[in-house]
Structure 1
């Protein structure tokens, strides 16, 4: 079931803080943060309805295909749920779809499945770190490989799988920007996260010694994360779409002087020897994955929760500071902030009477904060933020992975 949103501000004290009263529309823009913070606390205590879902104008130009949880200014109508036409007749599914070949863009038009086992999509082939993350989240799940990130998104939307587990950031390599963009293009909800320790292994054909290797194949990020070992071996580095695919290539080609960097599980799957373990430069190499589903989880307060949002801001000096301050005022910790240019209008032209015109980027801001939407402080923070944001969408509220 979809989360209820937050019906915001109906308090007579709101204008004292520069916040628009809900009865006068959304004319108020900027919050005066120079005032007494005590007034803000007092104001909160008298003005909360708790979250009413409202439709919003999509950031992308695509028609939404699934309902989403968001808080934004009213648009010209609520979105329709286009998923009504999907059915769940397992007998109509091609059995070969879920055997060994990854899903492709053509496969996602197939009818959905309602199997009793949780089916989880991931990008890559068996043995990929994403599959390890899926199995960590759901140890008894049926994993479904996909050849692209977007195929995994669509597989969930079309009921082919129940969930998708996709990487969003790595402690060494940074953010996966493609998946940030896809979170906006699709109407899925973040329902969990997985933090996975990445232990790269040097793999080779049975009987091969690492000193015999002349080239090593792997994903470019994996190669970059094993720089010291590769320099010591003095080998040629060959890029591959994913680490498990590199292991499969070495096994299938049978070339003795070629190795791969992949997981220990990939070595077992493809019959390769582990020539060395933990060959990454940084021992604390952690990848964070998001779990995506068609419906959000109901937030609670029984454990530590994280909320992910995306928003854009009105133009004005210090507006980003004010946006972040709504969390600081309520003692809410921000664990992640990422900015991405808006795809539909990446540049804003600003007139200058003396110097002609200057161009500035229009940004979307992705933020993770450590609080549950079941907590009033999180509800007030989002309502406060809405007063001077032009777009605000809740991507998900989900339990934190603290392991």
Structure 2
């Protein structure tokens, strides 16, 4: 039996890929029609019961086509997530027409290739046709770009699953007049990146931002003879290593970012936690409204009276109003020794009756309270099919 002609097979694959893209585009259009129908019905964007039924049916159909369940599930998780985010973006633009723009100016830490840059690309992929990038050296400069009208949005890392909250960002949020209007979480894959053909054993100096250094502390603890140099951003570390072009220096950061500077990863998976994610917030000069069909988060800061149980009393108010708190972070108040400012994230729309009541009650027992923003939740958890 003659072997198939490779060129012919590759041509058929290319034709099939084109058909797949056309079908994906058609599915996107249908998702937009669903979003438009939800404007009038006020139905939630997500219907996890229907998603589960859909996945079960697709897995069964896939079996008849010799496609295994994990493959079908993975593909349609991506398709469903895209559909949800597309519908949310449409509903948000409808309720916030002033935010519609073909071109946006975005400030972030570092230059091309930094984690903040990658997060900005992900967040604005569905929200603008053109993104004008403003790389900055410090978080203060990032915020200042928006406060002074030189950028429309700022992207700031707020927490990491490995190293925890970014204290400098929390402290800056105490004093800015900007509002949180969005969030985005990105997977963090720390790699050891080099500019020349070398080996891990030859490395004498490693450059990176302090966050990747903290998140890779276990790996670095086994390199006592290696000097660790902090940089303003991972992109700055990439730039330094690329310019030095030596076999004894390396950077820690994202492989895709390092590739922009001609760097190659010689070791991956450096983070203390293998499931490593960073969450970023998006801030702007004006607050936004969040459509009722979309899961929302509200972030506020508060300080409580210096008496036993004051914080507990505040948190009980959230519980009594059936509001789920998903984040609580404390930071010292400058000039007030031993007093703390608490940052709180709750899963609730600021316009909901429950949160309005809770905020009124919190006003009575706190010494200071301020809403930093209400924004769509980035948590698009995949629905798992239940297959017998």
2:132 is equivalent to residue 142 of structure 1: yes
- Residue pair 1:309, 1:393 contacting (<8 A) in 2 also: yes
Cα pair distance change 1:316/1:159, threshold 3 Å = same
2:269 is equivalent to residue 304 of structure 1: no
| Alpha-carbon distance in 2 for matches of 1:390, 1:245 | 42
Deviation at 1:401, TM superposition (A): 0.6
Deviation at 1:231, TM superposition (A): 5.2
Deviations 1:227-263 (A, max 9, x none): 4544556650322222221111111112211111111
| Alpha-carbon distance in 2 for matches of 1:152, 1:340 | 21
RMSD of aligned alpha carbons: 2.0
- Residue pair 1:122, 1:152 contacting (<8 A) in 2 also: yes
TM-score, scaled relative to structure 1: 0.65
Deviations 1:98-135 (A, max 9, x none): xxxxxxxxxxxxxxxxx951111001122110111111
Cα pair distance change 1:188/1:217, threshold 3 Å = same
Equivalent residue, structure 2, for 1:198: 188
Cα pair distance change 1:364/1:235, threshold 3 Å = same
| Alpha-carbon distance in 2 for matches of 1:372, 1:264 | 37
Aligned with 2:355 (options 378, 384, 398): 378
Alignment of 1:153-302 (within 5 A): 153-230=143-220, 235-241=225-231, 242-302=233-293
2:108 is equivalent to residue 122 of structure 1: yes
SS of aligned partner of 2:177? coil
Aligned residues: 276
| Alpha-carbon distance in 1 for matches of 2:250, 2:345 | 38
Equivalent residue, structure 2, for 1:67: none
Which deviates the most, 177-186 or 226-235?
Answer: 226-235
SS of aligned partner of 1:362? strand
Which deviates the most, 286-295 or 224-233?
Answer: 224-233
Aligned with 1:401 (options 374, 378, 382): 378
Which deviates the most, 189-198 or 314-323?
Answer: 314-323
- Residue pair 1:204, 1:210 contacting (<8 A) in 2 also: no
Q: Whose helix proportion is higher, 1 or 2?
A: 2
Deviation at 1:279, TM superposition (A): 2.4
| Alpha-carbon distance in 1 for matches of 2:149, 2:306 | 40
Alignment of 1:22-37 (within 5 A): none
SS of aligned partner of 2:103? coil
Cα pair distance change 1:390/1:225, threshold 3 Å = closer
